Chain A
Amino acid sequence: MMEQLSGRDRPARPEFEVVPSSLGQGLTVEGLTKRFGSVVAVDRLSMQVHPGQILALLGPNGAGKTTTLLCLAGLLRPDAGRIAWQGNALGPERTRAMALIQETPEVYDMLTVWEHMVFVARSCGVRGAWPARAEQLLERLDLTEKRDTLGEALSKGMRQKVLIAAAVLADTPVLLLDEPMIGLDPKGQRELREILVEIRERGAAIIVSTHLLEYIDTLCDSVLILKQGRVLMSGPISEIMHERANQRLEDVFLEVTR
């Protein structure tokens, strides 16, 4: 179900959540609020992302996308709100449930790509034949040749890939990506899209914050548009495109955030 809210009638809290029919499944966020002094960066945001879904978090600059992701990842303390996974409220331990890959990806300068994999396996308690999985991941992400390269020598795109490989290896249930396509070449962007689809199929809930709208409709299942911390529109992309048959997602975004 999709709803567009516009003008002064727009309520502070969205009437419709992404998939309201199965509340309690996957990642549930209710009334998330974050203030910086007098500025309300995120205003009573509610959403739900199911396992096996990708949600696109859209909005102009300063909309509150990054703040939302940082709150979810446990790196900012929300002023209000509830975050739950599979119906269980999450406190500080949510850092273990959510892997955040920030817009400026950073890895340890003095660890090689492979040592990052080893550390993630050890620190996340990955059991079983993880070395084979890690090798596969590196190959999949074109990182095999960079296996022994130090973090300080990796390009932004490569660092991005290392973080993605680490998140996949750790098998984190929720993956949060802030502007993941920026800094990647076209091949890298395609690889990332394919990997995200694979992760989705493995049952992870994914939130992608982005300004690049061209790949959203093919990659994501639902969309949430923010402006000044408030939800302007949310719903499955298929419904949005169905209701606005003559419009592209870009047009919808520009109209809603006008």
Chain B
Amino acid sequence: MIRSLTPALSPSDSLRALIYLDWHIFLNRVRTIRRDPKRLLMWGVFILVILTVIPQRFLLRSSAAPVISEVATFLNIVTTFVPGLVLVFLGLKIANSRKAMGLFRSAADARFLCGSALPPRVIVLWLDFRMLRLLLMQLPAYALWFLIFASNIRGAIAGILAFGLSMGLFFGIVLGLNLPLVRLSHSKSAVLRVAGASLAVVGMASLGTAVSRVGHLALVPPAIAPILLGLPPGSWMVGGFHANLWAFLALGICMIIAFALTLVVAHDVYPEVWESSLRMITVRRLMRQSGGFLSPRETRQAMREAGVQQRQRPTAAVSSQGRHVPPGAWTLLWKEWLAAIRVRGGLRWPVITLMAAIVIGWGAGGGFGRLPPVVQLNLIALPLYLLVIINMMMSIRLGVDLRNPLWWLSSASLTARLLVLTLARSLRQVIPLAAGLLAAAIAAGSVAVFVLGLLLFAAAIWAVQAMGIGVYTIIPTPVDLRGPGQLLRMLVLMALLIPIVIVFTIAAVLSEHVAIGLLTASATAILEGWGLLMFAASRLQGNGLAFAQAERR
């Protein structure tokens, strides 16, 4: 019996099959959650937070209108940067067109969708739609911000809808351009790189204009500034945030054009979709196998086995002569330094970060004093929040060291070694931070900016690192990206921050000075960090291998 090719299904039959797939995946997900409600733990915490915020909103509505207006000022300032950011994003996307956005979530998509009789155009549009839906699933996370910032509940709901529609249309444009750009990059790679770079440069100019406007600096001629700040599609998105119908229409037309281009190329894009999805498929598979724990070495190996193209890593280095190696626990500082300079690219990224910190510091310092107080507060609070969160999210693992016999041969105390380790890891962030703060202090003509800022940020970074090690000895797993383990660990870390916040509040209220509150909080953070390091050392002493093995599990 000789078989021929199965004819492609009609679009209506194809849609029915895809709806069957989606609907049953949804049903089974609901059933799974019903059987194992722990999967809803994160949502439970989120809803709890929302429920506690709503009464505050009613209170603010009646008594704190000035705060709302200051917040609105802050949001208006933030939206000034949107056109530039969007253009830079689009420029980079066009310049890197070969790296498409992966649409397959698992190899099952490749097997069951590509290997079916469904027409490729229907499949590609459906994959795009699924990606858009997944992106919009993030929207409830923004709901909290709207509830905090909006002047009333109705305003919050309208804000969420306008923001969601605007973002959805923009992601639709990006998704629609995804595959046409990849196909185009095969023949017009250089043209796309030039076009992308040009767009990014225009975006940077727009960002510069926004900085100049916010900081009241006369860097851009007044005739050009409005043009640079009103460039589409970012300006349409801002219009969308304010529920402007014309803005939605413009974004909608762009999205339709982008998807029409997708339809043109969709009959032959499976190889591109597969190649761009392979990395994500491999990472997801690895996470499922290892319960979220991904060591770089295992990830690299899995990528290699899956055929994901990887850059060559250096396999040899000039050995250090070891003439200036500090003794005792401080040897770890030397070891971390060697690790830092031997990563791919060497000191290139640290130097770029340092330069960027100086530029940002100089810009912020120059205009800082002229900004509204709420913006000043956010400019301090947001980076601090980001630093704390990034340090919390950074995998704090000691398994590699604890498994190494050399670690245990050291004559220095375990507490000292842990202290140096946390200092070394903190230095990677503290050095560019110090440079940025120094630039800001010079531009602002204020020594306090440098002294206070450095003390505050450095203490926060080091304390979170120390807390991470303390928590590691209670839950010896890295802070992964999902699962109740991550939530639990984050909650413990958050709980450890509570004493610092309490001390700050008491000190600031009693002294009626924020700076004294910050200084006292920094000292508390350092004390708490030191206590946690001693706690970690007592837990690890004589039991290190057990922790290393627990981390692997």
In the complex, are the beta carbons of A98 and B115 less than 8 A apart?
Answer: yes
In the complex, are the beta carbons of B275 and A76 less than 8 A apart?
Answer: yes
Checking A37, A106, A122, A150 against B106 with a beta-carbon cut-off of 8 angstroms, the contacting residue is: A106
- Specify which chain A residues have a CB less than 8 angstroms from the CB of B553 in the assembled complex: none
What are the interface flags for B101-118 relative to A under an 8 Å C-beta threshold, 1 for contact and 0 otherwise?
A: 000001110111111111
The stretch of B152-160, B226-234, B239-247, B265-273 in contact with A is: B265-273
Shortest distance from the beta carbon of B351 to any chain A beta carbon, whole Å: 28
- The reply on A95 being an interface residue by CB < 8 A is yes
What are the interface flags for B290-310 relative to A under an 8 Å C-beta threshold, 1 for contact and 0 otherwise?
A: 000000000000000001010
State whether A95 and B17 are in contact (beta carbons under 8 Å apart), knowing that A74-B271, A108-B106, A203-B3 are contacts in the complex: no
In the complex, are the beta carbons of A203 and B7 less than 8 A apart?
Answer: no
- The reply on A92 being an interface residue by CB < 8 A is yes
Shortest distance from the beta carbon of A56 to any chain B beta carbon, whole Å: 21
In the complex, are the beta carbons of B3 and A123 less than 8 A apart?
Answer: no
In the complex, are the beta carbons of A75 and B307 less than 8 A apart?
Answer: no
- Specify which chain B residues have a CB less than 8 angstroms from the CB of A204 in the assembled complex: 3
In the complex, are the beta carbons of A150 and B32 less than 8 A apart?
Answer: yes
CA A51 – CA B110 in complex, angstroms? 24
Shortest distance from the beta carbon of B550 to any chain A beta carbon, whole Å: 25
In the complex, are the beta carbons of B270 and A111 less than 8 A apart?
Answer: no
In the complex, are the beta carbons of A76 and B115 less than 8 A apart?
Answer: no
Shortest distance from the beta carbon of B401 to any chain A beta carbon, whole Å: 32
- The reply on A163 being an interface residue by CB < 8 A is yes
In the complex, are the beta carbons of A67 and B4 less than 8 A apart?
Answer: no
Residue in chain B with minimal CB distance to A171: B3
CA A86 – CA B9 in complex, angstroms? 22
The stretch of A113-121, A214-222, A233-241 in contact with B is: A113-121
CA A166 – CA B307 in complex, angstroms? 25
- Specify which chain B residues have a CB less than 8 angstroms from the CB of A36 in the assembled complex: 309
In the complex, are the beta carbons of B114 and A75 less than 8 A apart?
Answer: yes
State whether A96 and B111 are in contact (beta carbons under 8 Å apart), knowing that A119-B20, A150-B28 are contacts in the complex: no
By secondary structure, the B interface counts as: helix
State whether A111 and B111 are in contact (beta carbons under 8 Å apart), knowing that A76-B274, A91-B268 are contacts in the complex: no
Checking B7, B9, B107, B271 against A76 with a beta-carbon cut-off of 8 angstroms, the contacting residue is: B271
In the complex, are the beta carbons of A115 and B24 less than 8 A apart?
Answer: yes
CA A151 – CA B32 in complex, angstroms? 12
- The reply on A55 being an interface residue by CB < 8 A is no
- Specify which chain B residues have a CB less than 8 angstroms from the CB of A202 in the assembled complex: 1
- The reply on B8 being an interface residue by CB < 8 A is yes
Shortest distance from the beta carbon of B266 to any chain A beta carbon, whole Å: 10
Instruction: State how many residues of chain A have any CB contact under 8 Å with chain B.
Output: 54
State whether A120 and B309 are in contact (beta carbons under 8 Å apart), knowing that A86-B2, A91-B268 are contacts in the complex: no
CA A214 – CA B337 in complex, angstroms? 51
In the complex, are the beta carbons of A100 and B111 less than 8 A apart?
Answer: yes
What are the interface flags for B331-372 relative to A under an 8 Å C-beta threshold, 1 for contact and 0 otherwise?
A: 000000000000000000000000000000000000000000
In the complex, are the beta carbons of B29 and A110 less than 8 A apart?
Answer: yes
Shortest distance from the beta carbon of A153 to any chain B beta carbon, whole Å: 10
In the complex, are the beta carbons of B112 and A92 less than 8 A apart?
Answer: no
- Specify which chain A residues have a CB less than 8 angstroms from the CB of B26 in the assembled complex: 110
CA A202 – CA B107 in complex, angstroms? 27
- Specify which chain B residues have a CB less than 8 angstroms from the CB of A111 in the assembled complex: 21, 24-25, 28
CA A251 – CA B106 in complex, angstroms? 38
Shortest distance from the beta carbon of A57 to any chain B beta carbon, whole Å: 16
In the complex, are the beta carbons of B28 and A96 less than 8 A apart?
Answer: no
- The reply on A80 being an interface residue by CB < 8 A is no
CA A210 – CA B410 in complex, angstroms? 48
In the complex, are the beta carbons of B117 and A96 less than 8 A apart?
Answer: yes
- Specify which chain B residues have a CB less than 8 angstroms from the CB of A70 in the assembled complex: 274, 307
CA A107 – CA B32 in complex, angstroms? 17
In the complex, are the beta carbons of B107 and A104 less than 8 A apart?
Answer: yes
State whether A92 and B120 are in contact (beta carbons under 8 Å apart), knowing that A76-B271, A122-B17 are contacts in the complex: yes
Checking B6, B18, B24, B106 against A96 with a beta-carbon cut-off of 8 angstroms, the contacting residue is: B6
In the complex, are the beta carbons of A166 and B3 less than 8 A apart?
Answer: no
- Specify which chain B residues have a CB less than 8 angstroms from the CB of A51 in the assembled complex: 1-3
- The reply on A144 being an interface residue by CB < 8 A is no
- The reply on B512 being an interface residue by CB < 8 A is no
Which 6 residue pairs across A and B have the least CB separation, nearest first?
A123-B116, A77-B271, A203-B1, A106-B107, A173-B3, A122-B17
Of the A-B pairs whose beta carbons lie under 8 Å apart in the complex, a sample of 20, sorted by A's number, is A70-B307, A76-B271, A85-B5, A91-B268, A92-B267, A95-B115, A100-B110, A104-B285, A106-B106, A110-B26, A119-B24, A120-B112, A120-B116, A122-B13, A123-B18, A123-B118, A150-B32, A171-B3, A173-B4, A203-B3
Interface residues of A (CB under 8 A from B): 36-37, 51, 66-67, 70, 73-77, 85-86, 91-93, 95-102, 104-112, 115-116, 118-120, 122-125, 150-152, 163, 166, 170-173, 202-204
Interface residues of B (CB under 8 A from A): 1-9, 13-14, 16-18, 20-21, 24-26, 28-29, 32, 106-108, 110-118, 120, 267-268, 270-272, 274-275, 281, 285, 288, 307, 309
Known: A104-B285, A172-B6, A173-B3. 9 other contacts (CB 8 A): A37-B309, A74-B114, A85-B5, A93-B5, A106-B111, A108-B106, A120-B116, A123-B112, A202-B1
